Structure 1
Amino acid sequence: MKVLILGGTGVISRCIVEQLLAQGHHPVLFNRGTKKELFQDDVEWITGDKNDKDAFQSLMQPHRFDVVIDMISFNASDAGLTVQTFKERASQLIFCSSTAAYKRPFRTIPAQEDAEALVDDPVFPYAYHKAEMERYLHTVIAKGEIPVTIIRPSLTFGIGGANMGVLRQNVNLVHRIKSGKPLVMFGDGTVPWSFTFAPDTASAFAGAAGNERTYGQSYHATNEDLHVWEDLYLEIGKLVGREPQLVHMSSQLLHEANPGLFAHLYYEKQYSGLFDNSKIKRDIPTFRNGITLAEGLDMMLRWFEREGHPVEAEKDRLEDRLVEMYHRFGNELKALF
């Protein structure tokens, strides 16, 4: 199959490309062409910017694809452009949404796709716009304009990603644990979560491509190993040989202090992150979700070492200040009694 990936070089999408190649398909990548070193000559590129609507549609006009996988639509308008551009030029559209689009708290635990409602409050813009995108796509499905499949990843870690940790600071976690510096954990660290890694998530997209059972369906694609948030840091500590020191802070206070940095904690991650994968396993037998937390974090740490990532000094200083404030408040609280 000839499969267009809109994006193609992100954390999940680069793994999709690798899996499509391994399955003998012909992937075509559309993006700005700044990371061509990631793949060899067996990948075709179309260079452009989807934000330039007219230029994008002009670029795509001569092409036809068996499947289009859209990893870069974040709202209904983005998805609408993809639908209008490819409804006569592709046999299937696969969209990357997010489990963040589910309204919290869940109605079911582990969450089941067809039992959950979508976010309808714009207070958390990322989640709201993904939900609006899905609502639009359901109208496309209802009208029968083109076969559409929706995949909802949860928090996914992988090579190239900088989204690990409460402050989303990746390599800083390793630096602080090795240095014996405390790290901030939201709440008491015991929110249940299933941490997922990009090669597993990518198998959902690769397995949905050309799969008629997935037409008109929505799936989440997550790990099922039961962990709590604190385990993420504790497992890194095991891998580097030093137990992390954690200080626990309210997600509400963190969000009130900096909504941009901490909205993902307050609106999403303070709630259960457990998902039932029965539906995707039924319809996509090649979906896999077996990378354990230890295996996935070992992969990430090897990448950090290989690439020589520097510490993010600004976030390191911020974490120092948060830890200092935590201890100061603790001392003041003790003084009341």
Structure 2
Amino acid sequence: MKVLFIGGTGIISEAVSKLAVETGIELVLFNRGQRQEAIPDGVRLIRGDIRDTAAAAEALRGESFDAVVDWISYTPEQVQPNIELLRGKTGQYVFISSASVYQKPATHYRITESTPLANPYWPYSRDKIACENVLLDAYRNDGFPVTIVRPSYTYGDTSIPASLNSWRHPWSLVDRMRAGKPIIVHGDGTSLWTMTHNTDFAKGFVPLLGNMNAIGHAFHITSDEVLDWNQIYRAIGKAAGVEPKLVHISSEFIGALSPDHIGGLLGDKAVSVVFDNSKIKSFAPGFTATVRFQQGIERSVRSFEAHPGKCTVDAEWNALMDRIIGAYQSSLPMN
């Protein structure tokens, strides 16, 4: 197969790119070429910006693909031009959505692909839902060959996944743990969650490429391992060689002091979810996630330690954590 990835060098997509090449797919990436180190050998790069529709059309002139994967569209305004750009050039258009699109608050903890889509807390999720609607309308009305994939929290060697961490400087959480500083866990830490290693996600994703039976369908791809957030943070601490000092603070309190966290907490991680992966397993026979979180996070920590230049710390994020903890402790009744 010949497959185009729009993007293809992010935390999730770099693992998929590697597995796609290993399975014999002729892989082409369309991106700005800013992360050359994440491009596997044998992959052809078309350097460009998909948002510049005229330039993208020229760059893709004469090209055709068995499948195109859009890793980097987040709004309907970004998706719509891609439909016109790629119509007739691909047998399948795979849109990367998000598992955060599922109903919040949930009426049932177990999530299937038929769970309603509704998230009043997070604009990011509502935009992804709107993208799905645009694409499904194009499928129903014009036969545009769309497949939708909804990753949940997926991590790899370059990330330290948590509900509260610095996105640009993920080592910050480990550094804070090792410094003996208190670590915020939302709620009481007992809500259920699933962490998925990017290499496991790739094993479920690659069989969908060029799979005509997947057109018109939506899938989530996650691990079957279910943990609560206390377990997740303690696993990170164990990988870092320390027992983290956990401080439990309600998501509402955190959101009141840091509104940017409302969507990611109340619209996602504060809600218990257990994903039913029966559908992806029926389309990708043999798919099983095998990297348990303790194994995966130990790999992540060792990877950072092997590259000291990546062990950067976000002072602004640290200050925010201290400010939230200070405000919480001040709110407690005096004995």
Give deviations 1:290-324, integer Å, cap 9, x for gaps: 21011110121112112221111111122222222
* Residue 70 of structure 1: how far off its partner (Å): 0.7
Give deviations 1:204-230, integer Å, cap 9, x for gaps: 321100112211110111111121011
* Partner-residue secondary structure (3-state), 1:264: helix
In structure 2, what is the equivalent of residue 232 of structure 1? 232
In structure 2, what is the equivalent of residue 322 of structure 1? 324
In structure 1, give the amino acid aligned to 2:324. Answer: L
Change (3 A) 1:186 1:237: same
* Partner-residue secondary structure (3-state), 2:16: helix
Change (3 A) 1:82 1:161: farther
Distance 1:160 1:144 in 2: 40
In structure 1, what is the equivalent of residue 42 of structure 2? 42
* Residue 14 of structure 1: how far off its partner (Å): 0.6
* Residue 163 of structure 1: how far off its partner (Å): 5.2
Moved more, 182-191 or 56-65: 56-65
* Residue 195 of structure 1: how far off its partner (Å): 1.0
TM-score, normalising length: structure 2? 0.93
Contact 2:119 2:125 in 1 (8 A): no
In structure 2, give the amino acid aligned to 1:140. Answer: A
In structure 2, what is the equivalent of residue 133 of structure 1? 131
* Partner-residue secondary structure (3-state), 1:316: helix
Contact 2:102 2:118 in 1 (8 A): yes
Stretches of structure 2 that go unaligned for 5 or more consecutive residues are none
Listed as ranges, the matches of 1:12-27 within 5 Å are 12-27=12-27
Distance 2:239 2:214 in 1: 38
TM-score, normalising length: structure 1? 0.93
* Residue 41 of structure 1: how far off its partner (Å): 4.3
Listed as ranges, the matches of 1:64-213 within 5 Å are 64-114=64-114, 116-119=115-118, 121=120, 123-161=121-159, 164-168=162-166, 170-213=170-213
Distance 2:323 2:260 in 1: 18
The answer to whether 1:223 aligns with 2:219 is: no
* Residue 263 of structure 1: how far off its partner (Å): 2.2
* Partner-residue secondary structure (3-state), 1:248: strand
Distance 1:101 1:113 in 2: 10
Change (3 A) 1:17 1:196: same
Aligned residue pairs total 331
Stretches of structure 1 that go unaligned for 5 or more consecutive residues are none
Distance 1:297 1:157 in 2: 9
Please report the RMSD computed on the Cα atoms of aligned residues, expressed in angstroms: 1.7
* Residue 60 of structure 1: how far off its partner (Å): 1.5
Contact 1:207 1:287 in 2 (8 A): no
